[in-house]
Amino acid sequence: MNTRDYQDLDRAHHLHPFTDFKALGEEGSRIVTHAEGIYIHDSEGNRILDAMAGLWCVNLGYGREELVEAATAQLRELPYYNNFFKTTHPPAIKLAEKLVQLAPAHMNRVFFTGSGSEANDTVLRMVRRYWALEGKPDKQWIIARENAYHGSTVAGLSLGGMAPMHGQGGPTVPKIAHVRQPYWFGEGRGMQGGGSDPDSFGRECAAALEAEILALGEENVAAFIAEPVQGAGGAIIPPASYWPAVKEVLARYDILLVVDEVICGFGRLGEWFGSVHYDLKPDLMPIAKGLSSGYLPIGGVLVGDRVAETLIEEGGEFFHGFTYSGHPVCAAVALKNLELMQAEGIVERVRDDVGPYLAERWATLAEHPLVGEARSLGLIGALELVGDKATGARFPKSLGVGTLCRDICFETGLVMRSVGDTMIISPPLVIRRAEVDELVRLARQALDETARRLAAGSAVDDRPYLEETRS
């Protein structure tokens, strides 16, 4: 089959996630056929540097034989059994033990799911159940953040702060509130001056959280949920003041902290968990993606002792679980993935070597005329595209500059995502220094071409997925 055949069949039968079905049908999809290391290949013979690690998940890179072997061996041994009805199997037991060894000391239990969305559904039920068991059934409100992404199931999207998602498919889950995100470049700096410096802004965001707690009443608030660094929202690295101030606020009130580690977990920020980088000591940590380097779908919730002890001692049966909770093949692959990460010192490499190297190289893009800010932490990074470098003013939204740049990146041989006019990267953690150089060179080339086409007046007006969801 050639590209056209694939595209015709795809158009006829396949509804893609977060996609304008009709627009994609007209344009035709890109067919990715195989991959190795940090490169994907498409059906037209293009080799493309995947600076998004698939969808923030292929942390060990493509083509790791050890993971293929772990899956194959487990498929032969026991392809499926469940963890309901007083049964389990070695892969789930061993993976739980490994996760607890890697997690902060006070987290000693894990509940497995098939995805990050299911992990956040589990979080929602667990925190409300916890408070009911503690004799505080009114503590039901969960505070999340505007522009947050916590998944696409009904609980996931309700916790998320993406207004267009809330607008489709009927009412969201009740008793979830959203407070402002610590997005200094987008919301804090003030476009014509008059904004805050990053640290004051970080404290203002924490104060907004406290104000929301007081407005709802502490006695009604169950938990605060946030990513250490917002991924899908636009690789938003909070000001240094933000997390310490949020911790202070949460310590004043009796509210659980849920840190969504679906993207930041497993080395992305140069520690095993983003919570360790920011010293957060969460009560619950939803995980997925990098847990298996995306080779097979698996997620879970790491549960701190405070919540686990109540659920275990007081709870009786917890009526919750999925057919694929702790699936043996997914668990075997995840375990092998974590073992490889340990054996190869991947997390330390991100922290001490390739993360700082990316930071240095990425920062050089700040000089580009289209770039208002270049930021990174570990192996997550963003470029803010601006129409006026002197004032930092954005392009008119209707120009779709981020989309244009993203499409040019593909043509240039680079996967770089756009969220509005923010370009984001999250490359495989195994990326080498020479590949970082190539990534930055390709990004610069794409920026140059974007500037050239803008000058020639050929911006596009189609909007990419998730772009419309920026609140």
- What is the C-alpha to C-alpha distance for residues 16 and 24, in angstroms, rounded to an integer? 9
* Of 42-50, 114-122, 274-282, 329-337: span binding ligand PXG (CB under 6 A): 114-122
Q: Which residue type, as a one-letter code, is found at position 371?
A: V
Which residue, judged by CB position, is nearest to ligand PXG in the bound state? 116
* Of 113-121, 218-226, 267-275, 452-460: span binding ligand PXG (CB under 6 A): 113-121
Among 104, 116, 378, 402, binds ligand PXG (CB under 6 A): 116
Does residue 165 bind ligand PXG (CB under 6 A)?
Answer: no
Among 61, 91, 151, 420, binds ligand PXG (CB under 6 A): 151
Can you list the alpha helix ranges (DSSP code H) found in 167-315? Answer: 198-216, 242-252, 274-277, 305-314
- What is the C-alpha to C-alpha distance for residues 223 and 285, in angstroms, rounded to an integer? 12
- 112 versus 149: smaller Cβ distance to ligand PXG: 149
Residue list 288-317, contact with ligand PXG (CB under 6 A): 288, 299
C-alpha closest to that of 468 among 404, 421, 415: 421
Beta-sheet strand order (sheet of 414-415): 32-36, 39-42, 47-50, 414-415
Residue list 201-240, contact with ligand PXG (CB under 6 A): 227, 231-232
* Residue at token pair 């707690």: 213
Smallest gap, in angstroms, from Cβ of residue 382 to ligand PXG? 12
What is the Cα gyration radius of the chain? 22
Does residue 146 bind ligand PXG (CB under 6 A)?
Answer: no
Smallest gap, in angstroms, from Cβ of residue 24 to ligand PXG? 15
CA angle, residues 14, 418, 301, in degrees to nearest 5? 70
- 18 versus 80: smaller Cβ distance to ligand PXG: 18
* Of 109-117, 322-330, 342-350, 408-416: span binding ligand PXG (CB under 6 A): 109-117
Q: Which residue type, as a one-letter code, is found at position 336?
A: K
Give yes or no for a contact between 419 and 394, defined as CB atoms under 8 angstroms apart.
no
* Of 41-49, 256-264, 357-365, 378-386: span binding ligand PXG (CB under 6 A): 256-264
- What is the C-alpha to C-alpha distance for residues 241 and 184, in angstroms, rounded to an integer? 12
Does residue 263 bind ligand PXG (CB under 6 A)?
Answer: yes
- What is the C-alpha to C-alpha distance for residues 464 and 19, in angstroms, rounded to an integer? 8
**Binding positions for ligand PXG, rule: CB under 6 A:** 55, 115-117, 120, 149-151, 156, 227, 231-232, 260, 262-263, 288, 299, 466
